Structure 1
Amino acid sequence: MSQLTKTETLYEQYVQELQQIADIRYAVALLQWDQETYMPSSGADFRSRQIATLSELAHSMFTAAPFGNLIETLQQRNDLSPDQQSNINLSRYDFEQQVKLPSAFVRSISETTSKAYHAWIDARKANDFKVFSPRLEELVSLKKQEAELLGYSGHPYNALLNQFERACTTDILDAAFQQLVPPLQQLLQKISQCRQVDDHLLKQYYPEGDQWQFGMELLQRMGFDLNAGRQDRSEHPFTINFNSKDVRITTRVDEQDISNMTWSTIHELGHAFYEQGLPSEQYGLPLGEYASLGIHESQSRLWENNVGRSKAWTRNFLPVLQHYFPNQMDKVSEDHFYKAINLVKPSLIRTEADELTYHFHVIIRYELEKALIGGSLAVHDIPEYWASQYEKYLGITVPDDRSGCLQDVHWSHGSFGYFPTYSMGSLYAAQFFAAANIAIPGLERQIEQGEFTQLLDWLRKNIHMHGRRYTSEELCRNISGEGINSRYFMQYVTNKYRFIYAFQMEEVAL
């Protein structure tokens, strides 16, 4: 057998084993999707067991010594293609991380997470954090153990951050927020002195069935491939995929607020575009996976805000809304609608926040998680801490747990270290959209005409098709010539909101 043939055979074995592991992990994802959409509540305990069993099995297969040896053997060869070498290098990194976690620990955290989700649902229904807190305490304890098992430098929270945004640390985030917050607060202060825009047109009665039909047409018009995806309802909107040809999103409908469904649908559409754009030939391999959660969030925020809250999008979609809701929208002007969907006002709910105050919702959660994992905050103190931070950053009073510390699903998923990627995503989105405007002549006009193909193709070429080949910062440098820079975001929002609120302010220089 020739050396090349041997390498090909070994690589084929690696691909086969990794794709089998992916099959199991995506089966878990399917169970989780069903758990959050259609599963009857009485099935929760058995579903937790099923998810835990499969999660443990996938982890055991991936961290098995023979598979580690196979990766090591392939990594030492010099006749792999660039794509093959990238997959092997990334799998070696993943293996070294995962082998630190015992299979029994993976099962424990998976089972606890599944049970915590249902406790969170019950707590939201009861509007009582104490219903959720025992499960959350278990999860926080497990996450602290996980940080110790993975190892870290500096703050223990770094070990959890690294799982969502590789090489990200509290030092990096602290510096980024310190750069972002002062000019953002200055802009918000300027807006607070202006006459508030009127968004009452969004707060009328919009029947659920009509909203749903509008949402489905919205997805189709913006380019979602419904032959490779679907939309359903859930308590908290999310996107999940089982391969690039089966990507599912969820939304929620508030009959008293059309904006809730509309922009959560566009947000999840951005995530779905990314998943549908990943190379299907790399199924189960690192190059078939997204780069990071910060990059993933950049896609959702770009479509939700840079596109979906633009004047060009308004011109295209207001007539569609007027078709579905003539009584509510018939006499609404483009200018009125554009200003209404961009109202800036401190609010309680992160997913409904405007794109300026949104960052403070993220900062509150980031600082809270850092304190929990660092041990300076106890779980039972979360409601009080939450209320104090919302008063500090946003100047508003938290009336209850449902609209306060129970509003997000992430902790019930065990996703500690996730929230900071939301702000990073918004910053990347502004930077990427600025580059797209240079690369695509007449982009604004295309959006105004309902043509989104060139923008989606540009994102596919520059981001989606690369999978995990590059880190977030490498991707950002490839696209814009520099690393993440919050000044792109500040330039975008300053130019946008000085028109909406009619005030004078110097343009932000890059």
Structure 2
Amino acid sequence: METTEKFINYVKKMQAYSEAIGLMYWDLRTGAPKKGIEQRSQVIGTLSSEVFGMQTSDELAEMLVELENNLESLDLITKRTVEKMRKEYNMSKKIPADEYRDFVILTSKAESVWEEAKEKSDFSLFFPYLKEIVETTKRFVSFWGVKDNNPYNTLLNEYEPGMTTEILDNVFGELRNKIVPLAKKIAESPNQPKTDFLFKYFPKEKQKQFSLDILKQLGYDFNAGRLDETVHPFATGLNRGDVRITTKYDENDFRTAIFGTIHECGHALYEQNISAELEGLPLSTGTSMGIHESQSLFYENFVGRNEKFWEQNFSTLQAYAPEQFGHVAVMDFLAAINESKSSLIRIEADELTYPLHIMIRYEIEKGLFNGDMQVEELPQIWNDKYEEYLGVRPTNDAEGILQDVHWAGGAFGYFPSYALGFLYASQLKSAMLIDLPHFDDLCANGNLEPIKDWLTEKVHRHGSMKKPLEILQDATGEGLNATYLVEYLEEKYGRIYQLV
């Protein structure tokens, strides 16, 4: 068997292990019995160790060297796979195998402890786990090497290749300077939407049925996925034929489920529409967390909050909740779901203030890994920053420091991807309008297939074959540009609140 074939079979075996691990994580997050969590965490740790061993083996190293010596003879997919595996090998080889296994077990347990701590609104339960996760991650950064004299850059680069605190400080600073005064104008505007009808009892089962209707319209393939309930919504791509999404239902605020489901659908459509040529390879996934978030936020905001989209779907919503929405005009509904006001919960934030939630997490993570903050200080720091940035202060840990699951999984450096995703999505939407100037008409007619096809052609099908900024450049003709998001927010909220 020649080296190329042997290499492809090797990485496909690694992906098979990873798929099994992914399924176990999905089960942990969607209702696995509590008494089985300890053993399940051990099993995940054991299988992850097997993958880690393959990822750092001498056998893989020898294949990589041989293939790298003959790159010109390889097809593009194999070449990109070699490049990706080399990067992962170099990173993983620096981590002692026993420390990696212990970390996987730690984070598997930590997610369940976080869930309990959030339910009880008690940071002290989660604190020892978070402290150990942070300390271990700092040790891993020391193994990997500090990037550009900034430990946090090393973590950023894992989720968004090429991203640095210098870039983010500039982009976030520009956004903040536009968002804060706009939010102030909105708060002072006399044209505030009526929203009381949003917060009425809407049975979970009815919400689920409406969510399923919307998912079908968006193009989610139920022969390649399913919808389940969880504490913190997520999407997981086990393979391109099995991409699962989850949501959370609040019977007194239907927006949590509906917009959360649309958001996760955006992630899923990305994974479901990756080219079949990449099946079973490490390239069969999103190219970065920022590009992934661009897809979820594109659907949540540019489709799911689109005026024409709701002109098409509002009558269906009324049919599911006639007492709640039967006497509400569609324009009043649109103003209500696009209301902008400061809030405590990131996943429930409006489009305008959402980036501020991300900036708070970014600054905390940067402080943690650059030595300016300690884990025990986080609840206080979190609350202070919310008061400073958004003018609201959490009254308990559940609505404050414990609201996100990411840190329980050791996902430091991930949060900035959400804001980058919004920036990318705005830029993609602007480029899409050149090819699909009738975008609003498509939403009005419930014909979203051309939108999905455009995104599949420009983004989805490439998987990890292209780097994030390469995707952006090829799709839009330019690099990252915050102007599109700023203009979108100013136009939209200026219109809703009738700002001069």
Q: Residues 98 and 283 (structure 1 numbering): CA distance in 2 closer, same or farther, change over 3 Å?
A: farther
Corresponding position of 2:156: 161
1:12 alignment partner in structure 2: 5
Q: Give the aligned partner of residue 114 of structure 1.
A: 108
Deviation at 1:91, TM superposition (A): 1.9
SS of the residue corresponding to residue 246 of structure 2 reads strand
Contact 1:297-1:426 within 8 A present in 2 as well: yes
- Name 2:321's counterpart in structure 1: 325
Instruction: Specify the code of the residue in structure 1 equivalent to 2:55.
Output: F
Segment of structure 1 superposing worse, 467-476 or 300-309: 467-476
Deviates most, 188-197 or 204-213: 188-197
Q: CA deviation at 1:276?
A: 0.4
Once the two structures are TM-superposed, the CA of residue 52 in structure 1 deviates from its matched residue by 0.7
Whole-angstrom CA distance in 2 between matches of 1:87 and 1:48: 29
**Structure 1 segments unaligned to the other structure (5+ residues):** 1-5, 505-510
Deviations along 1:181-203, one digit per CA (max 9) or x if unpaired, are 11112221221221221221211
> Do residues 303 (structure 1) and 299 (structure 2) align?
yes
Q: d(CA) in 1 for partners of 2:140 and 2:329? A: 53
**Structure 2 partner of 1:481:** 477
**Superposed counterparts of 1:450-465, under 5 Å:** 450-465=446-461
What is the CA–CA distance in structure 2 between the aligned matches of 1:92 and 1:377, rounded to whole Å?
34
Match of 2:187 in 1: 192
Instruction: State the shift of 1:94 in Å.
Output: 2.1
Q: Is the 8 A contact 1:147 1:160 kept in 2?
A: yes
Tell me how far apart the structure 2 counterparts of residues 98 and 172 of structure 1 sit (CA, whole Å): 26
8 Å contact from structure 2 (residues 153, 163) kept in 1: yes
Aligned to 1:27: 20
The letter for the 2-side match of 1:64 is S
Task: Answer whether contact 1:119 1:131 (CA < 8 A) is retained.
Answer: yes
Q: How does 1:388-467 map to 2 (within 5 A)?
A: 388-467=384-463
Structure 2 gaps of 5+ residues are none
One-letter code aligned to 1:391: E
1: CA distance between counterparts of 2:101 and 2:10?
Answer: 21
| 1:148 alignment counterpart | 142
Deviation at 1:141, TM superposition (A): 0.6
The answer to whether structure 1 residue 90 and structure 2 residue 74 are counterparts is: no
Measured in 1, the distance between the counterparts of 2:210 and 2:463 equals 32
Contact 1:279/1:287 (8 A) holds in 2: no
Q: Which residue among 344, 350, 356 is the counterpart of 1:354? A: 350
Partner of 2:228: helix, strand, or coil? strand
What is the CA deviation profile of residues 244-287 of structure 1, one whole-angstrom value per residue up to 9, with x for unaligned ones?
00000000000000111100000000000001011233123243
Supply the AA of the counterpart residue of 1:444: D
CA contact (8 A) 1:243 1:280 kept: no
Displacement, 1:67? Answer: 0.7
**Corresponding residue to 1:172 among 167, 173, 178:** 167
Indicate the RMSD between aligned Cα atoms, in angstroms: 1.1
Local SS of the residue matching 1:242: strand
TM-score (norm 2): 0.98
- Cα contact 2:15–2:282 (8 A) shared by 1: no
Question: Post-superposition shift, 1:304?
Answer: 0.1
- The reply to whether residue 227 of structure 1 matches residue 220 of structure 2 is no
Cα distance in 1 for residues equivalent to 2:468 and 2:302? 19
Q: How many matched pairs?
A: 497
**Which residue number corresponds to residue 55 of structure 1?**
48
1:238 to 234, 249, 252: 234
Q: Greater CA deviation, 275-284 or 344-353? A: 275-284
- The whole-number CA distance in structure 2 between the counterparts of 1:31 and 1:127 is 27
**How far apart, in 1, do the equivalents of 2:392 and 2:386 lie?**
6
Aligned position for 2:488: 492
> Letter of the aligned partner of 2:245 in structure 1?
I
For the 8 Å contact 1:53–1:107, the answer to whether it is kept is yes
